[in-house]
Structure 1
């Protein structure tokens, strides 16, 4: 679980990032979750965009992702979710 200071730091780091995943009509499927986990292992901090035609609510998508092991939801703003997971091999971000 992240502290508010760590979340603030990660929000500032994520500000310039573009969403690398889009959750669309089919919703959050197992292959997409696996790809998100792989991207988090490589990058540690990513943005996911929830499209308007997605049948799941953005908060529901964030809830499902936060239930995955090690994934922390940093922020849900608009239709964008910021995710963080500490990398096991390629640690890049040092949290305060």
Structure 2
């Protein structure tokens, strides 16, 4: 029985990511091929659910990071390049924005 529980726990962790440690990750990606220009680890939480603010606000926080990144010139990216934000809130949500930001 113990072996069965360990196998089930391993399966849950493998499929859904680690449910004991969730992270909000963000990337500024090119608007066409989604090549990452820059990435940030925004937040993490231990033993939290998808309802935790760190996970619920992941997309919103990522959007703000990429807006600021674009306003400050996107590092060494060519002026006028366009970027989108891509976020990953562990198994809670992820995606790529439809909104494009122009690098100053």
TM-score (normalizing by structure 1): 0.36
Greater RCO (CA < 8 Å, at least 6 residues apart): 1
Larger strand percent: 2
